Structures are given as structure tokens and as C-alpha cells.
Amino acid sequence: MESKISITNLDFYYGKEQALFDITLEIPPREVVAFIGPSGCGKSTFLRTLNRMNDTIPIARVTGTVLIDGENIYRPGMDVVALRRKVGMVFQKSNPFPKSIFENVAYGIRINGLHSGKSDLDARVEKALRDAALWDEVKDRLSTSAFGLSGGQQQRLCIARALAVQPDVILMDEPASALDPIATQKIEELVVGLKQDYTIVIVTHNMQQAARVSDRTAFFMLGKLVEYNPTQKMFTNPDEKLTEDYITGRFG
Amino acid sequence: MAQIGALGDKIYRSVLLIAASSILLIVFAIFYMMIQNSMPTIQRFGIGFLFASEWNPSQQMYGALPFIYGTVVSSLIAILIAVPVSLGIAIFLVEQAPAKVARPIAFMVELLAAIPSVVYGLWGIFVLAPFIRNHLGPVLQDYLGFLPLFQGRLTGIGMLTGGIILAIMITPIITAVVRDVLDAVPTTQREAALALGATKWETTMVVLGNAASGIAGAVVLGLGRAVGETMAVTMVIGNSPQISASLFEPAYTIASVLAANFADATEELYLSALIEMGLVLFLVTLVINALAKLLIMSVANKTNAAKHV
Amino acid sequence: MERTMSTHNTRRRVVNAFMTALTAACAISVTLILLIILAYIAYQGVTSISIEFLIDTPKPVGEGGGIGNAIVGSAMMTLLAALIGLPIGIAAGVYLAEFGKNWYGNIVRFVADTLIGVPSIIIGIFIYTLIVIPMGRQSGLAGGIALAIIMIPIVARTTEEMILLVPNSMREGALALGAPQWRVSWNIVLPAAASGIATGAMLAIARITGETAPLLFTALNSRFYNFFYDQPMSSLTVQIYNYATGPFAVEHAMAWAATLLLVGLILVINIIVRFLTRKKH
């Protein structure tokens, strides 16, 4: 099967400091891939190389290639704006705009000019909210501020906002780390449901979460990819001793 | 020993308290002295003082309207020019320029605020006024001469020159506050927009939306400075108590009538009229500054922005 | 659909590029205005400045003259303002930082901030009614006090800010040793914040050195050297104002020369402060 995302020999530097070392990884379409590892291992940094979010850091530098649908996203002249529409992202802390619930979801549709007319916009917003399993909870108060929602609802709103621009890939950076167990469960159910239509990469510090939602897991340590295998194998019979030590909780 | 410490604490605290309270005392005393010394005109003209348009001290006619008009219009010109420019600079410094470029430019904009008002006035008389008379004014008259705003004789000294010099003078303060307000917008907001495929400019608009009330505060603060700015305006606005539609005509502001006439005002009613205008200016700037502070605090309570107010 | 999509994106790209250029243009144009103003002052000022000009007093037009007495007057009034304004301002700032986390502190803070925004000419009127009228004449004393009032809230707020930068652990360490609070504040916290407070004080001094409006009818002006605070006193700024608004070209030239001196001094202070604060961070 053709890979959706194909990373080859990726190195990443903050100034002179190297943060990621020679990472090579294939991510198949319509699967959930989890990145795990101790904090500071580079898993979030790596995630952010996949939609070039690190471009906002002036001293960041990347070498190697990242192919998405066969296109190297680090080639000169790459349209980063178009890339980020195709590769959506959900952040660790929910970050809705200070606008209404409706306008939050409509934002990406509007700027990208995806809709034809008001009724199409309404339909797209509704679909995104339904896909994010939020519609029933907010349908009666779409024009109220997004800040009136609970933490878990805000995070699902951010997911809806990302879905609304019709990405192929969704990157999730510890999306449930700030949420309570019930809200976390809803996000996890959502992630599993979304993989029918999207390729999902999720960073998590919670190994059970990785085991529950992902098809494959990549284990990072000190900026290196230690092991990448189907989740089932990773959690029962890992290839590397280091992985086993980490998963069984023998260190940090 | 403990008692000495406790006594020391008491004395120390009392001394500091007196110093801090002196600030309240000063503001209260300003208020009191100005009301007391403007009593003659308050009693004689009442509220009508503010709406009378005749100003002729030799005939004991004192109407504040031309000065209020001049203050309002010159400040509006300043705001209209300075706000977009300041927003542009602040956006450039916070959202676009790399630190190496932003730092020296930010410092130069700050230096603009360090130049004394009288120096702006000097520069206004000898550089800006001739420029407006010979270059900007004729161009405006050629293209917009059909508007009453740009009709009349062009001396270079007048309302427009006053407004432009004010614009230059309030740009640094508005820029500084907007910069701090933009800095206070969480990075996560920028990332959210970028991740949805927003361009840099679209992302900036999201940031501006987050900072809206702080920016409003910056504008109000700039307005407060423009309203109270004295020397530079006095030197270029023409000092003529008239209400004219033309921006090329000379005008007068409250602050400049005080600067230009206070030393000569020996007669009681004349002095009172000037002090009453000072009182109006004092109250207006107090309200404007308080409003600005509230607006800025609402977005950036714990950030740098509040310190400019 | 494909076509409208691509025109939409082209428009976005054009808007983005245009607005980026526009904001850069704003920054560049204001920087240029500063440079033009400074260059003009330097150009006009250098041609008229001389030793005699710096020590002479104003003379009738055509007989030369200088700003010696104005320099002395400015220095004397700034000194008086600093002697009054710095201790009160710093003490008020210490109060706000150490004891000001209550309703009274909030009121003082708020009023100090509004006082900073009060036009300086209002301070001039205030001192006129408070000191000039009772004394029966304008004086260096009145001018200096007017400048001190302008300094106090500025110094108070920067002092507070600088003290709050001192790490709390330093304070707690000393308190834990049993030192009374005033000793901790005076011997530990203030010295730690001293350089910050000093730079704030320098900026406040630079600011009042450039003030004109509060001196116009408090210190008035004088054509002679005057070393007594109870007499009207000349200042650089008022002298610049008088020369600038006078009818004669020689006076205008002297205004530029005096401006060069004044702006040079203020810029030097600002650049020194900039250099000092930069090294620390």
C-alpha cells in the first residue's frame, strides 16, 4: 500500500542544537499513528515538521525529505498555506478564536473560499460539527461565544474547525492532555471514528491512549526514533529492549 | 530587638505611605486650585462658556468653543493619520520583522517619543509648514479642492499642520501600546489560524481580533496625548480663535491658548477664563486616560501594555 | 470551481504581500521621519553653535548672544526637580511595590497613571496658582517644583516595576533570617533594584529637561545669568520657543543651535539607558 506520508532521513535543528536525528518513517493512509516517548524526546517537534509549523521559529532548520502524497513539502517554492489546509492540526490546549461557535468553524471555510453561498456555509459548518460529535450539544447556541463551552467541548470545536477545511491528514498534539477522563474518552472515540476518512497522527504521553486509539506506534527517545511497529506488537512484543522498558514503566 | 524591628517597620511604612499619598494629594490639589481660580468665569458665564464662540479679552468676551473645536479637530486629524500608521508599525514589529530588524526600528520609534515638544514645534515651523505650503497643500487643493476642507489660503500654518505634527508625536505611544497588546496575544491563536491554512496576513487579522479592546485603549490613549499636547501645536496651528471649515486656516487649541496667553493675562476675568479652559482640559484628559487604562487592562492586565498609561 | 478557487488564492496571496509591504512601509517611513528630524537639527545646529554661544546671554538682535544663562537655568531647575521628585517618586514606588497590593495601592496606581497623562501645561497652571500668585512673581523655584510634579508619578511607576523584578526568593531569604521588613526592603531589595531605578530616573530627567509648557509662566524667562531660585529663570526650552517664534533669522539659527544641544543631551541619555538595560537582559 502507498504511504500517505513518507519521511526520509529527517534532521531538525534549533539553532546549533540538533533536536531530531535521522528519522525515517512511513505513515499509511487512513490509519491512526501514535507518537509516544518521554517529554522532551522530540515527538511534538517531529509532528510539527509535518505541516511545517516549525517555520514560525526563526532559528529552526530541517534537512531530509517529507513526502505527502509524493510531494516533498520542504521543496523550494512549496505553498505552505495550501499544505496546512491539507494537513490540519489540533493543539495540546484548545485554542478557539474569541468568536462565536459558528464563526470558529466557519473561519477556515471562509478564508479558503470553500463555500458557495450562505446555505453551503451553514451546511459545511454543521457537517464539521457533526463529524466532531459536537453538533447535538451546540446546535441551539451556535452564535454564542466559544469560550462558553467546557474544555472538552472546546477541544472538539477545534477538531471541527480543523475538519471544516477538508484536510487529508490531521495532526493532534496531545489533544486530551488537559482534559478530564470523560472528555478524554470522547476525544478518543472521535479519533477512532475519524480514521475512516482521515490519516491521523497523534502525539500522546499516555501509553494506554496510544494502545486504545492507534494502529501503529512510534517510540521516540532523545530525538531518535527507537521503534516503529503495529501497536499490537509494540505493546506485547516490542523489538527493542528500550521500548519494553519504557512501556512497562521501568523509567520516566 | 523585635520591638525595634516593629518600630522601624512602622516608621518605614509611614514614610512611604506619605510619599505615595502625595500623588493623590497633587491631583486633588490641582483640581481644587483650578476650580477655585476659575470661579469668576464659572459664576459669570456658567455652562454657556463652553458654547460661546466669541473670544475677545479686550471686550471681556470669553467663549471657549473655538478652542474646543480646534482641539477636537486637530486631535481627530492626528488620530486619523497616526492610528493606521501605528498599527502598521506594531504589526510589522511583532508579526513580521525578524528580531534583528525589529529591535533597532522599535528603538528609533521610541526615540521619536523622547524628542521634546518644542523641538517638534521648531521643526514644524521651518520644515513641515513650508512643505505643506509648497508641496502637500497644492496637491490637496488640486485633487480635493472642491471640498471646503481644502479651500482657502495656504500659509502652511494652520489646523492641518497642527494635526500632522500631533500625528507624528502620538505615533510612538500608540505603537508602543499596540506592540505590547499584540505581544500579549497567545501564540496558540496564531498557530490555530496558520494550521487552518491562513496566510500571514489572515493570521494577523486573527491576532488583531484578539487584541481589539487593547488597540481601542491605545487609540484612546493617543487621543489623550493629542488633546493635551501643547508646545508644538502652539507653534504651528496659527493661534487664531476661529471656527473654519478649511484645514488650511489657522486655528487654536485649549492647550495652545494657555501657552500663548497665560503669561499676559493679568486681568482677573481673563485669567479665570484661561484657568477654566485648563480645568476642562484637565477633566477631559483624566477621563480619557482612565478609559484608556481600563480598555488596555482588560486585555493585558499582566503584561507590559498597562505601563504606558 | 477549480478556476474560482485559484483566483481566490491568488487574491489572498496578493493581499498578503501588499499588506506585508504596507506595514514595512509604515515602519520605514516613521524611522525616516526621525532621521530627517535629527539630520535637520544637526545640520542647522552645527552651523550656529560655538563656545561664545554656549556661555553668552541673550542680546538684542544683531549683537550675537547665547544661551549660557538658559543652560544654567535648565540645570538648576532640573536639579531642584530631581531633588524633590526622585525621593518622593522612589518612595511612592517602593510603597506600591511593597505594600500596595490593596485597594489603596490600586487607587494610587490608577491616579499616578492618570497624572502621567495630564498635559504638562496643566501642571504649569497649578503651580502658577499655588506658588507664583502668592509669591508675586515667577521664579526658578516654581519652575523646578512644576517639573518635580511631572517626575513623581513617572518615577513612582518605574520604581515599582523595577522592584517587582527582584526575585521574591531574595526577600524571603532575608526575612527568614529574622530581619525586619524595612531592613529587607532598604538593604536587600532596593540595592538589587538600584540600577533599574537609576535608569528610570535618568529617563525621567531626560523627559523634564525637554519640558517647556510647565515653565512658560512659572519660571518665565530671564535675559541674565541668575543663580537664585526666587527669581525668574531662563531655560533652554523656553529660550528655543522664544527664538523660534521670533521674527529674525539670527534668532532662528540660535533656536536650532540650542535644539542641537538639548536633543543631543536627551538622545545621549536615551542611548546610554538603552545600552545599560540591554546588557542586563
| pLDDT over 60 at C74, yes or no | yes
From the candidates A87, A91, A95, A172, which should be mutated to test the interface with B, based on the most B CB atoms within 10 A? Answer: A95
* pLDDT given for residue B302 in this prediction: 43
Q: From CA B87, how far away is CA B182, in angstroms rounded? A: 10
pLDDT tens string C122-165: 999 999 999 999 999 999 999 999 999 999 999 999 999 999 99
Mean pLDDT of chain C: 92
Given a cut of 70, the residues of chain A with pLDDT beneath it are 1, 251-252
A82–C12 C-beta distance less than 8 A: no
Between chain B and chain C, the number of residue pairs with CB atoms below 8 A apart is 276
In one-letter notation, the amino acid at residue A245 is: D
Beta strands in chain B (DSSP E): 55-56, 61-62
Q: How many CA atoms lie within 13 A of C84 on its CB side?
A: 17
Query: Is the confidence at residue C1, as pLDDT, over 50?
Result: no
The ipTM, to two decimals, is: 0.94
Beta bridge partners of A87: A169
Sheet strand arrangement including A71-72:
A17-27, A5-14, A60-68, A71-72
Q: How far is B210 from chain A (nearest CA, A)?
A: 6
Mutate to test the interface with A, among C7, C9, C14 (most CBs of A within 10 A): C9
Select from C95, C242, C272 the residue whose CB has the most chain B CBs within 10 Å, as the one to mutate to test that interface.
C95
Residue whose entry in the numeric block shows the C-alpha cell 484612546: B220
Residue with cell 477512532: A192
* Cell numbers at B142, concatenated: 488640486
CB C129 within 8 A of CB C115: no
Q: What are the grid coordinates assigned to A34, written together?
A: 501514535
Q: Which residue of A has its CA nearest to B100?
A: A58
pLDDT band at C15 (very low <50, low <70, confident <90, very high): very high
Kindly list the residues from chain B whose CB atom is less than 8 angstroms away from the CB atom of residue A93. 188
Contact B191 A112 (CB under 8 A): no
Enumerate residues 6+ apart whose C-beta is below 8 A from B109.
Answer: B89, B171, B172, B175, B176, C27, C30, C31, C34
Q: What cell does A212 get?
A: 486504545
Please report how the helices C249-280 and B99-114 are oriented relative to each other, as an axis angle in degrees rounded to 10: 140
Radius of gyration (C-alpha) of chain C in whole angstroms: 24
* Assigned C-alpha cell, C50: 560655538
Q: Give counts: helices (H), strands (E), chain B.
A: 14, 2
Question: Measured between CA atoms, how close is A241 to chain B, in angstroms?
Answer: 37
* CA distance to partner chain A, nearest, from residue C4 (Å): 9
**H or E element: which one contains C274?**
helix C249-280
Residues of chain C positioned with their CB less than 8 A from the CB of B261: none
**Which residue reads 473670544 in cell numbers?**
B55
| CB atoms B188 and A97 under 8 Å | no
What are the residue ranges in chain B where pLDDT is below 50?
A: 1, 302-306
Integer angstrom CA distances of residue C236 from A152, A174, C120? 65, 63, 17
In this complex, do A112 and B99 lie within 8 Å of one another by their Cβ atoms? no
3-state SS string over chain A? CCCCEEEEEEEEEECCEEEEEEEEEEECCCCEEEEECCCCCCHHHHHHHCCCHHHHCCCEEEEEEEEECCEECCCCCCCHHHHHHHEEEECCCCCCCCCEHHHHHHHHHHHHCCCCCHHHHHHHHHHHHHHCCCHHHHCCCCCCEHHHCCHHHHHHHHHHHHHHCCCCEEEEECCCCCCCHHHHHHHHHHHHHHCCCCEEEEECCCHHHHHHHCCEEEEEECCEEEEEEEHHHHHHCCCCHHHHHHHCCCCC
Chain B CB contacts of A125 below 8 Å: none
Burial class (CB in 10 A: 0-12, 13-18, 19+), A237: exposed
Higher-confidence position of C65 and A65 = A65
Question: What is the radius of gyration, based on Cα positions, of chain A?
Answer: 18
What pairs with residue A173 in β-bridges?
A: A203
Each residue of C218-266: pLDDT tens digit? 999 999 899 999 999 999 999 999 999 999 999 999 999 999 999 999 9
Judged by CB atoms closer than 8 Å, whether chains meet at C4 and A113 is answered as yes
State residue A172 phi and psi, 5-degree precision: -125, 120
pLDDT at A12 (0 to 100): 96
DSSP B229: -
E-assigned strand segments in chain C: none
Cell digits for A165? 477545511
CB-nearest partner of C5 from A81, A111, A113: A113
Q: Could you tell me if A97 lies within 8 Å of chain B, comparing CB atoms?
A: yes
CB spacing of C22 vs B88 below 8 angstroms:
yes
Show residues of chain A in contact with B209, CB under 8 Å: 97-99
Q: What's phi and psi for C17, nearest 5 deg?
A: -65, -40
Residues 6+ apart with CB under 8 A from A176: A155, A183, A184, A187, A188, A204, A206, A209
| Cβ-based neighbours of B233, under 8 Å, separated by 6 or more | B74, B121, B162, B165, B166, B253, B255, B256
Look at residues B215, B205, B249 and name the one whose alpha carbon lies nearest to residue B74.
B249
Closest to C12 measured CA to CA, from A109, A83, B199: B199
A neighbours by CB contacts (3+ pairs under 8 Å): B, C
C-alpha distance from C24 to closest chain A C-alpha (Å): 18
In angstroms, the Cα distances linking A193 to A32, A136, B10, C207, C238 are 10, 17, 68, 64, 77
Interface residues of chain C, partner chain A, Cβ below 8 Å: 4-5, 8-9, 12
Which chain C residue has the Cα nearest residue A111?
Answer: C12
Composition of chain B by helix, strand, coil, percent to 5: 80, 0, 20
Check: CB of residue C70 under 8 Å from CB of residue C235.
yes
Contacts of residue B90, defined as CB under 8 A and 6 or more positions apart, other chains included, come to B175, B178, B179, B182
Cβ pair A89, A173 in contact under 8 A = yes
* Of residues B11, B16, B259, nearest to C99 (C-beta): B16
CB atoms within 10 A of CB C270: 20
Residue of A78, A80, A81, A166 for testing the chain C interface, max C β-carbons within 10 Å: A81
* Contact (CB<8Å) A84/B197: yes
Check if C183 contacts B (Cβ < 8 Å): yes
C-alpha cell at C263: 536633543
Nearest CA to CA, how far is C52 from chain B (Å)? 22
Touching check for A59 and chain B: CB below 8 Å? no
Dist. CA B191–CA B168, nearest whole Å: 34
**Residue labelled with grid coordinates 477621563:** B287
Task: Tally Cβ neighbours within 10 Å of residue A186.
Answer: 18
Bridge partners for A33 per DSSP? A201, A216
CA distance from start to end of chain B: 43
What Å distances lie between residue B55 and A16, B41, B61, B241, C47, CA to CA?
71, 13, 5, 7, 42
Beta-bridged to residue B217, according to DSSP, are none
| CA separation for the pair A12, B219 (Å, rounded) | 43
Instruction: Round to whole Å and give the CA distance between A146 and B150.
Output: 48
| Tally of CB atoms within 10 A around B164 | 23
Within 8 A of C4 by CB-CB distance, chain A residues are 113
Burial per residue of C215-250, b for 16 or more beta-carbon CB atoms within 10 angstroms, e otherwise:
bbbbbbbbeeebeebebbbbbbbbbbbbbbbeeeee
The verdict on a CB contact (< 8 Å) between C4 and A81 is no
- Amino acid C77 reads M
Rounded to whole angstroms, what are the CA distances from A8 to A22, A25, B117, C220?
8, 7, 62, 78
CB contact under 8 A, C5 and A111: no
Per-residue DSSP letter, C224: S
A58, A91, A165: residue with CB nearest B191: A91
Q: What is the DSSP letter of C66?
A: -
Residue of C nearest to A82 (CA): C9
Contacts of A120 in chain C (CB under 8 A): none
Q: Do A53 and B190 touch (CB under 8 A)?
A: no
φ, ψ of residue B211 to 5 degrees: the values are: -100, 10
Q: Do B192 and A112 touch (CB under 8 A)?
A: no
A93, A98, A107: residue with CB nearest B196: A107
